[in-house]
């Protein structure tokens, strides 16, 4: 799972050692203009923790992506990592939340309050279908394909590049989910839509399987258009190493979902009088029972998608 990260950080194989163990005290520099700081919230649903990213440099300021939970120590470390040319912290131009879940967006307001210039909190507002704990209203709502630019503010030596993030609306895991494409470097910040080490949960009604699959197609097309070689997820190491590998990760996810959906359809067909509780252990007999309560959410999303597909087929075949 860490091979993609090694390819990003040490492309020649002979550069200084890059630590792959998870820690929360110090940011990890992935590129000259990209740092990752992992929040101290490891768990069954968050893996090693939520990855917060800082994109930019001292000359342009930084965009903070997914400040994470409202953990005071984590927020302060993010503030310190975003340095001004004079070495002071809080050089943050924008705060962007990929979606409104509790391990991604609650840290936005505390981080904004720490910064002297109160950078705007950007994203999409949570939909009416979101759970109460995922309520989120950004200062400014982003548009699909909108560009977020960081431009050098002065003539600081060594800081001459601009940094541009393209917003890609990717509903599925959450109705207000977005991904961000760093155009100059061909990097995709995938939020929870694509993870390293597990598949994301689709939890209706805010989660929607049809939207999720369509969003995967959107991301795959963007990877080809912009020669994206690496995917930086909100949980886990960097994925990728080449266009084929980055695109392959997306294609693999879609194939996995469709394979699971076909298995669910077969289980339902074999047990038409069954219930969700009956179908769950049969459709997910290849995963540990402790995962079933979470898998049940995605099972419901697959059942909704199958019902939608069946309805479309019935309508298409009607005289």
Angle (deg, nearest 10), helices 243-270 and 292-317? 80
> Quick one: pLDDT band at residue 12, thresholds 50, 70, 90?
confident
| Separation CA 303–CA 265 (nearest Å) | 8
Q: What is the DSSP letter of 178?
A: E
How does pLDDT run across 66-107, given as a tens digit for each residue?
999 999 999 999 999 999 988 899 999 999 999 999 999 999
Contact 47, 236 (CB under 8 A): yes
pLDDT at 20 over 90: no
| Separation CA 228–CA 243 (nearest Å) | 6
| Separation CA 203–CA 200 (nearest Å) | 10
The pLDDT assigned to 198 comes to: 85
Q: Is the peptide bond before 134 cis (omega within 30 degrees of 0)?
A: no
As a whole number, mean pLDDT of residues 288-309 equals: 91
Instruction: Give me the DSSP letters along 110-139.
Output: HHHHHSTT-PPEEE-PPPTTS-GGG----S
Q: Which residue has the higher pLDDT, 45 or 254?
A: 254
The pLDDT assigned to 310 comes to: 63
pLDDT at 313 over 70: no
As a whole number, mean pLDDT of residues 52-56 equals: 98
As a whole number, mean pLDDT of residues 170-194 equals: 97
Q: Which residue segments constitute the domains of the chain, with CATH numbers given? A: 3-242 (3.60.15.10)
The pLDDT assigned to 15 comes to: 64
pLDDT at 8 over 80: yes
φ and ψ at 163, to 5 degrees?
-135, 125
Residue 172: which of 216, 125, 138, 135 has the closest Cα? 216
User: Which residues is 165 bridged to in the sheet?
Assistant: 148, 182
- In terms of DSSP bridges, do strands 121-123 and 140-141 run parallel, antiparallel, or are they unpaired? parallel
pLDDT at 311 over 60: no
The pTM of the full predicted model, rounded to 2 decimals, is 0.92
Averaged pLDDT score across all residues of the chain? 91
Helix (H, G, I), strand (E, B) or coil at 157: coil
CA distances from 201 to 131, 166, 212, 287 (A): 14, 25, 10, 14
| Separation CA 81–CA 186 (nearest Å) | 23
Residue 217: which of 238, 247, 243, 244 has the closest Cα? 247
């Amino acid at each position: 799972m860490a091979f993609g990260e090694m390819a990003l950080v040490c492309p020649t194989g002979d550069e200084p050692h890059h630590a792959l163990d998870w820690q929360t005290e110090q940011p990890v520099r992935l590129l000259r203009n990209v740092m990752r700081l992992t929040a101290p919230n490891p768990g069954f649903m968050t893996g090693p923790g939520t990855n917060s990213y800082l994109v930019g440099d001292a000359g342009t300021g930084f965009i903070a992506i997914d400040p994470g939970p409202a953990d005071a120590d984590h927020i302060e470390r993010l503030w310190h990592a975003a340095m001004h040319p004079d070495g002071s912290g809080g050089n943050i131009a924008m705060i962007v939340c990929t979606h409104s879940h509790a391990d991604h967006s609650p840290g936005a307001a505390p981080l904004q309050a720490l910064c002297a210039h109160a950078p705007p909190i950007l994203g999409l507002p949570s939909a009416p279908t979101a759970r109460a704990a995922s309520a989120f209203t950004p200062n400014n709502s982003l548009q699909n394909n909108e560009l977020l630019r960081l431009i050098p503010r002065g003539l600081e030596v060594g800081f001459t590049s601009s940094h541009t993030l393209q917003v890609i609306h990717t509903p599925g895991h959450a109705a207000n989910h977005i991904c961000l494409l760093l155009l100059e470097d061909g990097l995709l910040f995938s939020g929870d839509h694509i993870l390293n080490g597990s598949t994301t949960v689709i939890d209706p009604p805010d989660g929607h399987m049809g939207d999720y699959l369509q969003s995967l197609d959107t991301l795959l097309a963007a990877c080809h258009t912009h020669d994206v070689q690496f995917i930086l997820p909100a949980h886990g190491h960097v994925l990728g190493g080449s266009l084929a590998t980055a695109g392959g990760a997306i294609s693999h996810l879609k194939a996995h979902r469709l394979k699971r959906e076909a298995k669910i359809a077969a289980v339902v067909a074999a047990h038409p009088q069954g219930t969700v509780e009956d179908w769950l252990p049969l459709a997910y007999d290849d995963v540990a029972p402790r995962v079933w309560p979470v898998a049940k959410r995605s099972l419901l999303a697959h059942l909704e998608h199958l019902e939608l597909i069946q309805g479309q087929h019935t309508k298409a075949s009607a005289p």
